[in-house]
Amino acid sequence: MARKKLQRFEEIQTFPFYFETGYFTLQQCPFPLKGKWRNDFFGNDNPLVLELACGKAEYTVEMAQRFTNKNFIAIDIKSDRMWVGANKANNLGLKNVAFLRVPIGLIEHCFDKNEVDEIWITFPDPQPQSRVSKRLTSPRFINRYLKILKPQGLIHLKTDDGDLFNYTLEILKSFNFKLLECNYDVYKERGDDIITQVQTFYEKMWLSQGKTIKYLAFQI
């Protein structure tokens, strides 16, 4: 393993807001903070927002600074990527963030019913038509989010992928969710707000290739 990656693996473990657990452990017993994130970790009763497939967690770090009255948890399976956001959060001394390395497919083992207010899904792997069930907005995953989201909880999706975007619109129709925002090209359609102000690592890459960036938000 490259030295830098190894250093990141080691360093992220020292951050007090970083947690990880394996697939088999989670399957056997729930994550210890399940149902207790507010009381036992954040020490407040503020809304809880998740960023799934966070990568370097650009949204978590930015939102945590802007919205100090909310708690944010960045989730991914790759801790060397998460280290980038976690290191920034550590340097900034952010108190309203956590980083959780778990497979999203076991998210309901980490959060209790009604524990989560909002979910952001930022540039997830689009997955081809042949693997739609692996999409983070497929019914397989949506049903998991429904187990942890509060009634009327929000889900945001930012992506460059037109197929994933249209697929997600179909899925939310089939669930009868309420579409709140739908932009096929955020930089043409939106003003200056958090959707256009924050660019993730993958977003910058897609923008440099001339792709348009899409965004939707819906309420369950």
Ligand X SMILES: C[S@@+](CC[C@H](N)C(=O)[O-])C[C@H]1O[C@@H](n2cnc3c(N)ncnc32)[C@H](O)[C@@H]1O
Distance of closest approach, residue 39 Cβ to ligand X, in angstroms: 25
Binding of ligand X at residue 108 (CB under 6 A)?
no
Binds ligand X (CB under 6 A): choice among 200, 215, 216, 220:
200
**Cα gap 141→143, rounded to integer Å:** 5
Q: Quick one: 40 or 149, whose CB is closer to ligand X?
A: 149
Binding of ligand X at residue 122 (CB under 6 A)?
yes
> Which residue reads 């200056």 in tokens?
192
Restricting to residues 127-186, name those near ligand X by CB under 6 A: none
- Binding string, residues 32-71; x marks residues near ligand X by CB under 6 A: ---------------------xxxx---------------
Binding of ligand X at residue 20 (CB under 6 A)?
no
**Cα gap 104→52, rounded to integer Å:** 7
Stretch that binds ligand X, among 28-36, 40-48, 83-91, 101-109 (CB under 6 A): 101-109
* Cα dihedral 106→112→114→117 (10° resolution): -60
Q: Quick one: 30 or 105, whose CB is closer to ligand X?
A: 105
Which one from 112, 117, 125, 163 is the annotated catalytic residue? 125
Q: Quick one: 94 or 104, whose CB is closer to ligand X?
A: 104
Angle at 50 between CA 49 and CA 56, to 5 degrees: 125
Is residue 125 among the annotated active site residues?
yes
Binding of ligand X at residue 214 (CB under 6 A)?
no
- Residues annotated as part of the active site: 125
Contacting residues toward ligand X, per CB under 6 A: 53-56, 76-78, 81, 103-105, 122-125, 200-203
